[in-house]
Amino acid sequence: MPLSEKIGAAIGASGYEIGEEASLKFAEYLELLVKYNERVNLTAITDEDEIISKHFVDSLAGARYVPEGARLIDIGTGAGFPGVPIKILRRDIELVLLESSAKKCAFLRELVSGLGLGAEIVCARAETYGRGAARATFDAAVSRAVAELKVIAELGVPLLKTGGRLIAYKARLNAEELEAGDIRARETGAERAGLIVTSRDPERTLAIYKKLRETDAKYPRRYPKIIK
């Protein structure tokens, strides 16, 4: 079976039907990821089937919770997850990929250009970006495998407009981390709107927050203070 068809079938089995054009883009993505990973450490997952299931399918778990036509930011995107798969599926969104590693940003530029996605790449630290002109300009934010929930909340909520959504992808989310994330979200102006288990083997959860009010100017703080 051609790679694009294999990817299309796997994504289809997860509940998203994609056409030939999107399947081909995912295949190009996988091939570039594996090739580039030989020079730059982008992912520890290099098996074709695992990239499809653990990166592509997992990234798309949150796509249905991104509002139509949203301006979306992917915080700490790394090799483009989950933002790029969501953008391939959802051409209606405007995507910004935020990443602090210059080497990963170089990969993202090549990827976005090659796939013709039109996404913006910002090579900066999230706590700095969240205090600049981009503050409170996004309808939605996603973050996957970046940090504890409380950290994601402090980095993500200030970037959202009032009414915007933060969608945090978490593995093995326990009650202690969830409570700390809820507290930090409230401090930054948001409340938890949903907790969705997307997989039980392995355990994967989406913690979704809605911004209800403007974030206090002191957030986000410097990273050492955020994680302390």
The string of pLDDT tens digits covering residues 48-89 is 999 999 999 999 999 999 999 999 999 999 999 999 999 999
Q: Half-sphere exposure of 71 toward its Cβ, with a 13 Å CA cutoff?
A: 12
pLDDT at 136: 98
AA letter at 12:
G
d(CA 143, CA 120): 16
Residue with the two structure tokens 């970037």: 159
What average pLDDT score do residues 87-97 get?
Answer: 97
DSSP-derived letter for residue 26 is: H
Q: Classify domain 62-227 at the CATH topology level.
A: Rossmann fold (3.40.50)
pLDDT at 17: 87
Share of the chain above pLDDT 90, in %: 89
Task: Compute, in degrees rounded to 10, the torsion defined by CA atoms 65, 69, 70, 71.
Answer: 150
Query: Cis omega (within 30 of 0) on the bond before 82?
Result: yes
pLDDT at 201: 75
β-pairing, 120-123 with 138-144?
A: unpaired
pLDDT at 199: 86
Strand partners, 192: 209
What average pLDDT score do residues 118-136 get?
Answer: 96
State the sign of the Cα–Cα–Cα–Cα dihedral 136, 193, 152, 154: positive
pLDDT at 1: 77
d(CA 142, CA 194): 14
Would you tell me how many other CB atoms lie within 10 Å of the CB of residue 117?
Answer: 19
d(CA 47, CA 189): 41
